[in-house]
Amino acid sequence: MMNPEQLNVLIKSRRSVFTRQFVKGKKIPDEIILQLLENANYAPTHKFTEPWRFSIFTGNGLKKLANFQAELYRKNAGEKFKQDKYEKLLSNPLDCSHIISIGMKRSTIVQIPEIEEIAAVACSVQNIYLSVTAYGIGGYWTTGGITYEEEAKPFFNLGAEDKLLGFFYLGYVEVPSAASKRGDIAEKTIWVRE
């Protein structure tokens, strides 16, 4: 059994580490990526629907993802198109070791409120975050880019009723993130004793 203090330290050590902080060109072994997802698979899930769905992009797959998202952005941005955003969509994925798309697959067998399925996927992502921290690698969950574009879903093997909930970018840490700051939990808590 884990020492509770080790768990407390792990949780408080979790940080988002962004692509500009990654060691460029250094690849995380696929075995570690698979273990991150195995840990994600143990998130709580109502009625055991296990709604999380992941696609892993690495190597030339990162270029495929980058090109897909940049071109979909260009197609749908209209007057809001920004060249620098387009270029970031093309370049940021190439600075990663791996990118994991995060999907939520709606159950066709058990009827669960959508918010519960989204919450289950969020719990699986927290398991990824904690695992990344334990392995000493970096990463972050982003809902930018094409996350909310309906046309993106088929690229990630998601149907019309499913949701694309973002991407987890991964790499080795060259520049660590600063210590996290949180407000006092007492200001966010109400005790009801009677």
Pick the residue with more confidence: 85 or 180? 85
Checking if the pLDDT of 1 tops 90, the result is: no
Q: Find, among 33, 51, 46, 32, the residue nearest to 121 by Cα.
A: 51
> Rounded to an integer, what distance in angstroms lies between the CA atom of residue 64 and that of residue 54?
16
- Res. 53: pLDDT tops 90: yes
| pLDDT tens profile 54-103 | 999 999 999 999 999 999 999 999 999 999 999 999 999 999 999 999 99
Q: What average pLDDT does the segment 3-32 reach?
A: 96
Strand order, beta sheet including 52-58: 52-58, 98-104, 163-171, 138-142
Cα–Cα separations (whole angstroms), residue 17 to 74, 92, 170: 27, 13, 8
Say whether pLDDT at 109 is over 90.
no
pLDDT of residue 110: 82
What is the mean predicted confidence (pLDDT) over 33-51? Answer: 97
Name all domains of the chain by residue range, CATH numbers in brackets. 18-175 (3.40.109.10)
CA 144 centroid distance within chain: 11
Residues 150-166: pLDDT tens digits?
999 999 999 999 999 99
pLDDT at 108 over 90: no
Q: Is the pLDDT of residue 34 over 90?
A: yes
pLDDT at 153: 98
In this structure, of 1-5, 89-93, 140-144, 161-165, the range with the lowest mean pLDDT score is: 1-5
Residue in 77, 62, 64 with CA at minimum distance from that of residue 27: 62
Q: What is the mean pLDDT of the chain?
A: 96
Q: Which pLDDT belongs to residue 142? A: 97
pLDDT of residue 180: 86
